Amino acid sequence: HIKGATAKGVEPLYEAIKKGTDKNWEERAGCMTYPDAVAKVLKAKGVDTAKWLKDCLKMSLPEMQKAAAGLGAGDVHFDWNVARSVEGYYRIKGSTEYCIERAIAFAPYADCIWMETG
């Protein structure tokens, strides 16, 4: 669920903010999650992406990269560090699926878990 740049050579978001060129940074960077980037490649090849988008929810980034290569997506460029905020936070694609996975991960350590909507 972490967003990153899929365009090679784009400046980090924090630099774009400092220079005042951040208005179209997401578009220039091709900012999206790794699963969405792989789905875009697979869709262009005529592959149904539903199974990939479901299966990848339980994978780490290295596991997703291996699975994507196995599906024929090749080496999809993805850099989540250049998309980090000025404060250093990773950017996320918020969704119900994200909240569910987060709740499952934190359940053993928390008395209460909630989901924010906006």
Is the separation of the CB atoms in 13 and 28 below 8 Å? no
Residue 65, domain extent: 3-109
Is the separation of the CB atoms in 13 and 29 below 8 Å? yes
pLDDT at res. 14: 95
101 in a structural domain = yes
Which stretch of 5-19, 60-74, 94-108 has the lowest confidence by average pLDDT? Answer: 94-108
User: How many folded domains does the chain comprise?
Assistant: 1
116 in a structural domain = no
Average pLDDT score over residue span 5-9 = 96
49 in a structural domain = yes
How many C-beta atoms lie closer than 10 Å to residue 66's C-beta? 12
22 in a structural domain = yes
pLDDT at res. 6: 97
pLDDT at res. 58: 86
Instruction: Report pLDDT digits (tens) over 90-117.
Output: 999 988 888 888 899 899 999 888 887 6
pLDDT at res. 117: 67
Considering the chain, what percentage of its residues have pLDDT values greater than 70?
98
Average pLDDT across the chain, whole number? 93
7: Cβ contacts below 8 Å, ≥ 6 apart: 28, 29, 30, 77
